Chains A and B, each alone.
Chain A
Amino acid sequence: MKELLESDNFYAKSGFLYLPLKLDSEIKTDLEHELKPESLIARFKSLDFLSRDEPETNELFLEKNGQTFVKGINILSLIETYESLEPRDYEKKRTSLLKKYSFNPETKVHIDSALETIVFEVMPYFIKTNKGLERKRIDKKGIIDLINEKEIIPQEYFSKAEKLYDLSSLRNKIEALEKDDLQLKLPKEEIISPNKFRTWFDKTLESFILSKEIDFLKSELDERSELAKNNKQYLATILYLKDKASLEIEGFGFYEQGDGYMVYKHTGPYALKDFDGKIYRFEDCKVGMKVADDHIYSPAVLNNYKHPFLEYSRSNQTICLGHAKIPREFSKKNLIKAFEIGLGVILQGYTNERNFGGYNRLDGRVHHGDARETFYEYKILRTDPQIISGELEITNDFIQ
């Protein structure tokens, strides 16, 4: 790119840079007639390099001041692709421009979209708050109310939210920038020296970068206007959650872990039925999975626990999921599906007597891998008061 800009004169016309057709002067004299644009076009047609329908006035070649120029580069594409062609130089220019126009790096509202998905889209699936005839999934406002009932959000988060609601400074910044003439103007038709072209290029690239920044600020304005539609409590709550980085409501929760979040759901106590009809009581466990970099990791039981589909009695064990495939790309739908699979295996997955594929059968008759866990101490009677009252559910009672 730099070499190009520092080479010979060009000819600028209709958005294209025409490059000089360079030939040894002797050859050039010999081929003087052949290098006329119309001759070149005829020659190219005979070689099938050009369609035979191509008009004779084709502007593939131009002759100016005795020099032949070949149509070369779309000038605006040089500007538009400069970021990819010369990323370091582009970034240097961009940074210096942002400094010049005093863009504050804090301009962007850094709302963590993964956090929002976990709290406002996945959590409502798993928490039960409505009673009576009104049994609907809780909405965003309901979640905010619940969080505010549970947590005391410090005043500083409301002040921060207040500032973010102030859209006027953002609007003023955009207006100020738009006053500058940022239209991308093509160089006029003429022979243009490398220096002159460089000057035009730098100025146009600057306008291009500023236009992109304006687009960014406008989308930022849209985003904040959208946020402003919700109440300030909403914004204060998510700013608070981002800093606090943990929450648990109605047995569903998350906490920050490394570069992502560990999201979990408590099962609550439950009972499993063995293939001989005997009942085993299990304490609550936390089924969780890490979400980081748009990736969902395998479900695990986070607390110290033993279960037919866990190899040992310890914490942070990946659940033995059989043939189930966890969707790996992070989204509301996929995270819910991953929970469905993980929780489903723990609560309803003990079903296959003939081909038991877990680590430890409840009756201790089959073990796989190094596992040797037993569950004798978990045994209860079907007439246990907790079962009779419905407090404890035999979650796989459907097996025969």
Chain B
Amino acid sequence: MKQPKIEQTTKPLESLEDKLPLVLEVIPGQASEGLVDIYDVGTYAGVSVNQLVQNSLKKDWSLEDQQILGDINYQLSEGKILYKGQEVQSNIMDYAVKETTAEGEDYLYVRLKVIKPQEGGLQ
């Protein structure tokens, strides 16, 4: 599949939440790929990021995805949900970018990391 186009837009994305589906990816720790969940238009507007993540984790995932789900739950215990190193706040649209599939379909994409901070130091 071709790399999706990422639109650099100054248009507020909030205006798109009633028009585009949302793809939420939750990545455990230092992994490169996470659990990908798709929210249809009208199912994510007004829902907090934390709630959206929790909703995604509760879904019935395939055996393969359950492995990733296990990694996420491990990180989430005493962990934080981060977007670019910052703990996420309430509005999902603050983290969304517009992407387009190879077939030309637009969607909003949010990539979050779940990290159990590993404090370094001398023992």
B residues touching A (Cβ–Cβ < 8 Å)?
1-4, 23, 25, 29-34, 36, 38, 64, 68, 80, 82, 84-87, 99, 101-102, 107, 115-123
Compute how far the CA of A273 lies from the CA of B84 in the bound complex, rounded to whole angstroms: 13
> Would you call A135 and B29 a contact (CB within 8 A)?
no
B100 to chain A, nearest CB (A): 9
Residue of B1, B68, B99, B121 contacting most chain A CB atoms (<10 Å): B121
> Would you call A133 and B33 a contact (CB within 8 A)?
no
> Would you call A394 and B84 a contact (CB within 8 A)?
yes
Given known A132-B99, A137-B64, A265-B30, contact A344–B115 (CB-CB < 8 A): yes
> Would you call B101 and A132 a contact (CB within 8 A)?
yes
> Would you call A351 and B85 a contact (CB within 8 A)?
no
B82 to chain A, nearest CB (A): 6
Complex interface: chain B residues within 8 A of A397 (CB): 82, 84-86
> Would you call A347 and B119 a contact (CB within 8 A)?
no
Contact with B along A333-364 (1 / 0, CB 8 A): 00000011101111111111001111100000
Given known A137-B68, A320-B120, contact A128–B85 (CB-CB < 8 A): no
Contacts A133-B36, A309-B121 known; list 9 others, CB within 8 Å.
Answer: A131-B3, A135-B25, A309-B120, A322-B120, A344-B116, A349-B117, A351-B119, A395-B85, A397-B85
Compute how far the CA of A87 lies from the CA of B82 in the bound complex, rounded to whole angstroms: 59
> Would you call B121 and A320 a contact (CB within 8 A)?
yes
B55 to chain A, nearest CB (A): 18
Enumerate the 4 nearest inter-chain pairs by beta-carbon distance, A residue then B residue, closest first.
A357-B121, A344-B118, A397-B85, A349-B120
Interchain Cβ contacts under 8 Å between A and B, 25 examples: A131-B2, A133-B23, A135-B34, A135-B36, A136-B64, A265-B30, A308-B120, A320-B122, A321-B118, A322-B118, A322-B119, A322-B122, A339-B30, A340-B29, A341-B118, A344-B30, A344-B115, A345-B118, A352-B121, A358-B120, A368-B122, A394-B85, A394-B86, A397-B85, A398-B82
Compute how far the CA of A131 lies from the CA of B33 in the bound complex, rounded to whole angstroms: 10
> Would you call A128 and B32 a contact (CB within 8 A)?
yes
Residues of chain A from 360 to 386 with CB closer than 8 A to chain B in the complex: 368-369
> Would you call B31 and A126 a contact (CB within 8 A)?
yes
B32 to chain A, nearest CB (A): 4
> Would you call A393 and B121 a contact (CB within 8 A)?
no
B94 to chain A, nearest CB (A): 13
A156 interfacial by beta-carbon distance below 8 Å: no
Compute how far the CA of A383 lies from the CA of B52 in the bound complex, rounded to whole angstroms: 30
Instruction: Closest B residue to A356 by CB, please name it.
Output: B121
Given known A132-B2, A136-B64, A394-B84, contact A324–B33 (CB-CB < 8 A): no
Given known A137-B64, A348-B115, A398-B85, contact A132–B121 (CB-CB < 8 A): no
A residues touching B (Cβ–Cβ < 8 Å)?
125-128, 130-138, 250, 265, 273, 308-309, 319-324, 339-341, 343-352, 355-359, 368-369, 390, 393-398
> Would you call A357 and B120 a contact (CB within 8 A)?
yes
Compute how far the CA of A273 lies from the CA of B86 in the bound complex, rounded to whole angstroms: 11
> Would you call A344 and B36 a contact (CB within 8 A)?
no
Complex interface: chain B residues within 8 A of A134 (CB): 1
Complex interface: chain B residues within 8 A of A132 (CB): 1-4, 99, 101-102
Complex interface: chain A residues within 8 A of B118 (CB): 321-322, 324, 340-341, 344-345, 348-349
Residue of A128, A135, A322 contacting most chain B CB atoms (<10 Å): A135
Complex interface: chain A residues within 8 A of B23 (CB): 133
Given known A351-B117, A357-B122, contact A340–B30 (CB-CB < 8 A): yes
Complex interface: chain B residues within 8 A of A137 (CB): 33, 64, 68
A159 to chain B, nearest CB (A): 34
Compute how far the CA of A341 lies from the CA of B121 in the bound complex, rounded to whole angstroms: 12
Compute how far the CA of A359 lies from the CA of B120 in the bound complex, rounded to whole angstroms: 10
> Would you call A393 and B123 a contact (CB within 8 A)?
no
User: Within the complex, which residue of A136, A345, A390 is in contact with B120, where a contact is CB–CB below 8 Å?
Assistant: A345
> Would you call B29 and A344 a contact (CB within 8 A)?
yes
Compute how far the CA of A358 lies from the CA of B119 in the bound complex, rounded to whole angstroms: 9
> Would you call B101 and A128 a contact (CB within 8 A)?
no
Compute how far the CA of A320 lies from the CA of B122 in the bound complex, rounded to whole angstroms: 6
Instruction: Closest B residue to A124 by CB, please name it.
Output: B33
Complex interface: chain A residues within 8 A of B84 (CB): 390, 393-394, 397
Compute how far the CA of A350 lies from the CA of B86 in the bound complex, rounded to whole angstroms: 14
Compute how far the CA of A344 lies from the CA of B123 in the bound complex, rounded to whole angstroms: 16
Compute how far the CA of A332 lies from the CA of B59 in the bound complex, rounded to whole angstroms: 26
Instruction: Closest B residue to A251 by CB, please name it.
Output: B32
Complex interface: chain A residues within 8 A of B101 (CB): 132-133
Complex interface: chain B residues within 8 A of A320 (CB): 120-122
> Would you call B38 and A133 a contact (CB within 8 A)?
yes
Complex interface: chain B residues within 8 A of A348 (CB): 85, 115, 117-118
